Amino acid sequence: MEKYIIEGGYKLHGKVSISGSKNASLPILIATLLTDNKVILHNVPKLKDVDTTISIIEFLGKKVVWKDESTLVVTQSGTAYKEKGFVVAPYELIKKMRASFLVSGALLANYNKVKTALPGGCAIGVRPVDIHIKAFEQLGIEHYIESGYEVFIKKKRVPKNSVIKFRYPSVGATENILMFLSKIPQQVTILNAACEPEVVDLANFLKKLGVQIEGAGSRTIKIVGCKKFTSSDIEYTVIPDRIEAGTFIIAAAITKGEIELNNVEPQHLTFVINKLRKSGLVIETENNKIYVLWKKSLKPQNITTRPYPYFPTDLQAQYMALMCTLKGSCVIKETVFENRFLHVGELLRMGANIVVEGRKAIVFGVEKLKSAEVMVSDLRAGAGLVLAALAAEGVSKISHIYHLDRGYEKLEEKISLLGGKIKRIDE
């Protein structure tokens, strides 16, 4: 089993290049199923979740080749596997990650009968797909569950001027429905849509195919699909990963360092940046760069995780690690997922003082975190533990780091280049 060995107490300083967004790359890769044309995608990170998505779309008829370190070329090589008239996305592939359920929207755009296994991913809560399913049903899709598979049958045409409203602004549901509607040549309005930058990125990719979309990035999206996509090759560049960028901003803060982040969109992190500035961290932005400098002791700040543009749940664990090192106390409320404090127990092993009350964690700062052997429970919890270890006194050992490989490209390499003492071992 691979583990990280991290010696804490070293300030991170220097420049780091942020990779392309994992959470934007996955739906865009799945959206290539909508077209037979060649698609060239730039700024794609090499991650386990990207590899899983490539395996899925190759099973469904695509050929994918890495042209260079961050460029993928996707072409048509066959047809999707069918079983008794149904196109099937099998359990062996879908079980590996949450985003794989997005194939249902893309496949329903292409076929009338689809079977999709229920998805997997990080164990951070229920994350039901009922929002996706109810939206499909509102658009005339028949649905039932059979032998562990979600079964979808397209029997009716989408009603004219349809309006669907999500009970919660789900990123996945918004992306799934956009892909499904991409080939339906009439207007559909989505209310209470997710407005995350990754949704906007998918919408911009679909526009390249010829789909008309208005309002992406707001709570109301209007989409008019097209019967025939553009006949030319598609070339598209994925946005930078705002969660990786936020992780390195917090890494500079927790190690009292100085970091310049390149290939980043500062506006995607406005709320996070303002919150950290309020704590006393010096942050300057310029075009596609963010400069972070620790100049004085920081003051703890309360946060509540909420959908974009507010504080992202994917940075909650990293932020908590930072708060553990500050003098004073703060309250962290988790409103997105009901089981996203799995890192608390591991932080306690490092000497943190945290009290959890339901979806609220009260963090009391300690003078110094101590090294310990800890275990990663999910992707972002793992990032929080890495940051805690970088600030801790002594040498920490972190296991189950395969979770981190799902979402952080060359993490130990980037930390090492910034002066952090981290190495990967196999034992």
Please state, in angstroms and rounded to a whole number, the distance separating the CA atoms of residues 288 and 17. Answer: 10
Indicate whether 164 and 279 sit together in one domain.
Answer: no
Q: Are 43 and 288 in contact (CB under 8 A)?
A: no
Q: How far is CA 192 from the centre of its chain?
A: 20
Q: Which residues, 6 or more positions from 217, have their beta carbon under 8 angstroms from its beta carbon? A: 195, 197, 199, 200, 203
Query: Quick one: 160 and 182 in the same domain?
Result: yes
- 178 shares its domain with 247: no
CATH number of 340's domain = 3.65.10.10
Q: How would you classify the pairing of strands 2-7 and 258-262?
A: unpaired
Dihedral, 99, 198, 169, 318 alpha carbons, nearest 10: 80
Q: Which two tokens stand for residue 221?
A: 């999206």
Secondary structure in 3-state letters for 256-321: CCEEEEECCCHHHHHHHHHHHHHHCCEEEEECCEEEEECCCCCCCCCEEECCCCCECHHHHHHHHH
pLDDT tens per residue across all 427 residues of the chain: 999 999 999 999 999 999 999 999 999 999 999 999 999 999 999 999 999 999 999 999 999 999 999 999 999 998 888 888 899 998 888 887 777 889 999 999 999 999 998 775 444 444 568 899 999 999 999 999 898 889 999 988 898 899 999 999 999 999 999 999 999 999 999 999 999 999 999 999 999 999 999 999 999 999 999 988 988 999 999 999 999 999 999 999 999 999 999 999 999 999 999 999 999 999 999 999 999 999 999 999 999 999 999 999 999 999 999 999 999 999 999 999 888 899 999 999 999 999 999 999 999 999 999 999 999 999 999 999 999 999 999 999 999 999 999 999 999 999 999 999 999 999 8
Structurally, how many domains does the chain consist of? 2
Q: Give CA angle at 111 (110, 116), nearest 5°.
A: 105
Report pTM. Answer: 0.96
Contacts for 274 with CB less than 8 Å, ≥ 6 apart: none
Q: Is-cis flag, bond preceding 240, omega within 30?
A: no
Q: Which amino acid is at 358?
A: G
Pair (14, 28) in one structural domain: no
Output the pLDDT for position 123.
46
With vertex at residue 40, the alpha carbon angle to CA 210 and CA 212, rounded to the nearest 5 degrees, is 15
Predicted local confidence at residue 5, as pLDDT: 99
Instruction: Write out the DSSP string of 201-245.
Output: HHHHHHHHHT-EEE-BTBSEEEEE--SS--SS-EEEEPPB-HHHH
Q: Is residue 60 domain-shared with residue 160, that is, in the same domain?
A: yes
Q: How many residues does the chain have?
A: 427
Strand ranges across the sheet with 2-7: 373-375, 395-399, 2-7, 421-426
Please say which residue of 211, 237, 263 terminates a domain: 237
DSSP code for 393: B
3-state secondary structure of 128: coil
pLDDT at 128: 67
**What is residue 391's predicted lDDT score, i.e. its pLDDT?**
98
Asked if 28 and 65 count as a contact pair (C-beta separation under 8 A), the reply is no
**Tokens for 324?**
């553990």
The gap between the terminal CA atoms of the chain, to the nearest Å, is 5
Do 221 and 268 lie in one domain? The reply is no
Beta strands in 12-81 (DSSP E): 13-17, 39-42, 62-66, 72-76
The residue out of 205, 237, 269 marking a domain boundary is 237
Same domain (yes/no): 128, 6: no
Whole-angstrom Cα distance, residue 315 to residue 336? 12
In a shared domain, residues 249 and 368: yes
The answer to whether residues 152 and 263 belong to one domain is no
Dihedral of CA 204/206/208/214: which sign?
A: negative
Q: Which residues are catalytic?
A: 122
Of the residues 187, 207, 237, the one at which a domain ends: 237
User: 325 lies in which domain range?
Assistant: 2-18+240-426
Residues 410 and 279 in one domain: yes
H-run or E-run covering 364: strand 360-364
Task: Supply 389's token pair.
Answer: 């270890």
- Say yes or no: 51 and 184 in one domain: yes
- Are residue 223 and residue 327 in the same domain, yes or no? no
What local confidence, expressed as pLDDT, does residue 251 receive? 99
